[in-house]
Chain A
Amino acid sequence: MSKAKQQKFLDLYEPIHDRFERFCKARVYGNMEFQDLVNETLLVAFDKFDTLKSKQAFLAFLFGISIRILSNNNRKKKENYLQSEEKSHDIEDNSAKTEMDAEIHFLYKALGQLKETQRESIILFEISGFSIKEIAKLQDTTISAVKLRLKRGRKNLMEIMTFESTFKRGEIYSD
C-alpha cells in the first residue's frame, strides 16, 4: 500500500522536480542546503498526500508546504534573527554554486539580502513562473501586497547589485 502511494507521489513529482528545485535553491541560497528543504518538503507532502484534492494542484501544494516550513523555521529562529542575517553572507551553498554561472551565483547572493517576503515573491514570480494571484494565495496575502513586494523587491535588488559596477575594469587594477 505504502509503496503504491510512494510511486503515485513520485509520478506526480518527477515532472515538476526541476522547477521545484530551482525555487528551493534560490529561496534558501546562503542560508541552508536547498536539498534539505526539498527533502523535508517532500516528506511532509507525502505525509499529507491523502489531503491533496486534485493532481493539478500538486505543484502549488509543494510550494505551499515549503513556504510554511521556511516561515516556521524563521519563527523558531527569531531570537537569533540579527546574527543569522549577518551570517547569511558567509554561509555558502556548495552544491549549488559549483554548478552555477558566476552571474547567477551573484544574483542569488543579492536575493539573499532582500526581505523574506520580497525575496519569496520575486523568486516565485520571476524564476518559478507563478502568477501574482497564485503567489497571493501561496503567501496568504492580497494581490496588491504581492505587487508591492515585487516592485520594491526589484528596486532593492537593483540597488544591491549596483555595487558590481564599482568592479569595473579600470577601478580594480592595482598597478
Chain B
Amino acid sequence: MIDQNKLDALFVKAKKAPHTSVFNKTKEQFLIASSDNVDKTTSKKDHFITFNKGIIMLIIAGTIALTSFLMSGDIEETKTESIIQTQVELKSEIGEETTQIERKNEAPKSRNIAIVAFSADEDVSVIPDFVSISISDLLKKEIKPSDFGVKRKELATRQQNSEFVFPKLTKEEISDNHLQKKKMIKALNKKDSKVYSYIPAGSFTYQSEPISVAAFHMQRAEVTNLEYKTFLFDLLIQDKKADFLVAKPKQELWTEELGEEYRFMQDDYFSGEEYEDYPVNNISRKGAEMYCVWITRGANKINKENGKMLINDVRIPMRSEWIKAATVEGKFPEYYWGDSSPALCFRANFSMKGYEPSIPTNNRTGEEISFGHPNALTTWGYISGEQKILAKGKLYSSNEYELHNMCGNVAEMVYESIGLNDLGIRSQLESGTAGGGWMNTYEEIKLNAEDLYQGVEDEHLNIGFRVVITYTGSN
C-alpha cells in the first residue's frame, strides 16, 4: 500500500519534473494566435469600410451613366461604329499574339516528345534511376541521355555497394551542429552533473570475484541520437566521408528484422527530431569507438587552448566499471533498483515476451483498469499504450549514482578484459555488452545475466552505448 510519505515524494518529483515545451514555443504559438485575433477584428472593420465605399461608388457611377445617357442622343451612332472598328483591330492583335504564344509553347512540347522517344528507343532492360536523379535535379541540370537510365545489373551492384547519397547540410544546420558540439564538449569538460555522474574508486566482491576500479565519470543516460548525429554531421563538415560511412547507423535493420510495419522507425528514429533524446542503436562498435575519439579530441582541443588539464580519454566502459556503476559496488546484484515495490514494467524497458503483468484494479470500485497496449513489443510500449519501442534516456528512475536505464532499453557496449601481460596490465580486450536491451526478457536484462552479444561488433537493433571519462592512462 502506498503511504503518505511515498505520495509526498511523488508530488515533489512531479513538482520538479522537467517541462516539455520551452517558453519560446508557447510564445510563438501565442503570437500567431493573438495576431490572428487582432487581424480578425481589424478585417471585420475593413470589410465594413469597403462595403460602404462600394455602395457610394455604385451610386456615383449610376448617376454618371444616367446623365450621359440623357445627354448622348445623336452622337451614339458614330460611337457604335468606332467601337466595332476597335473590336476588330483588337481581335486581329489578339489572334497574332495567340499564335506567337502557341509557337513558344510548341518548343518545350516537342522537347518532351523527344525525351519520351529517346526513352522508348533504349534497351528494355534500361530502367530509370530515380535514386540518383531527383526531380529537382532534372529541372536544374541539363538533361543528358546517360542520366535517364542505368542497366539493371549496374543498379543492383550500385545498391549492393550502397552508393550512399551524403546529406547536404544547410548553413543553418552547420551552425546548429557547431553549437550542439560545443554544448556537448562543455558538458564533458565541466563534467556536468546533468550529463555525467561521478563514480568513486572502490573495491568490492562480485559473484565471488574481487573487483577493484579507479574513479571515473559515467554518462547518466545512453548516448542519444542527437549526440551521435552531431558527431556524424561533424564528420561531414570536415569532409571525412569514409569515416562517415563506417560510423553511420544501419537504419534498414528496423525493417529487415521487424518487417515493413516498422518502416516508420527506419525513416524517423535516427533522423526525426522527436527521437533526438532516445538512445542511438544500429551502430557498429567501430562507430562508437570513433565517437569516443572524436569527443575526446574535441574536448582536449578546447582544454589545450585554455591551458587546462587534458582528459585522459572518453571511451566505452570496461565491464568491471560498468558493473560497479550499475550494481553500486555489488549492492544490487540483479536489478539496480533492488526490491522496491513498483512493477518491473515501471522500472525498465524490456521485451514483453514472457512477461505478463496482472491487470490492475481500482481499489475503490473493484473494476479492472484499462491499461497498456495489447500488442506492445516492449514494456514502455505497454505502459505508454502506443507502438513505442525504445524509451528516452532518462525516462525511468535512476540508481544511487543517478544512472538511468542500466537494465534494458539498449544493451550497452563494454570491453571484456580477457588477458593480462607480464606486468599484470590488461592486454587483450574483447567486445561485450551489459544490461540487456528492449529485445531481451526481464531475466536477460538482469545485471548479472549472461551476455548474449559477446563478440558482436556489427550494427544491432538492440545495442547502444554510453561513455566513461577516465583519469588514469589505462588505454
Contacts and interface: CB of A to CB of B under 8 A. Distances in A.
Contacts of A95: 20-21
B264 to A, nearest CB: 14
B112 interface: no
Interface in A73-108: 86, 89-90, 92, 94-108
A47 B37 contact: yes
Nearest to A21: B19
Interface string B1-39: 111100100110111011111010011011101110110
A43 to B, nearest CB: 6
A173 to B, nearest CB: 8
Interface class of chain B by DSSP: loop
Interface stretch (B44-52, B124-132, B352-360): B352-360
B259 interface: no
Contact of A168 (B15, B33, B341, B364): B341
B361 interface: yes
Contacts of B358: 166-167, 171-172
Contacts of A157: 7
A159 B386 CA distance: 26
Given A6-B31, A95-B21, A158 B343 contact: no
Contacts of B14: 22, 26, 104, 107-108, 126-127
Interface stretch (A10-18, A64-72, A136-144): A10-18
Interface class of chain A by DSSP: helix
A173 B343 CA distance: 10
B13 A167 contact: no
A41 B14 CA distance: 22
Nearest to B356: A174
B38 A2 contact: yes
B118 interface: no
A162 B397 contact: no
A172 B341 CA distance: 12
B19 A105 contact: no
Contact of A14 (B20, B23, B339): B23
A168 B384 contact: no
A158 to B, nearest CB: 5
A103 B364 contact: no
A25 B20 CA distance: 9
A103 B394 CA distance: 12
Contacts of B34: 2, 6, 42-43, 46
Closest 6 CB pairs of A and B: A167-B343, A163-B360, A126-B11, A174-B356, A89-B370, A159-B363
Interface of B: 1-4, 7, 10-11, 13-15, 17-21, 23, 26-27, 29-31, 33-35, 37-38, 339, 341-347, 354-358, 360-364, 369-371, 383-386, 392, 394-397, 442
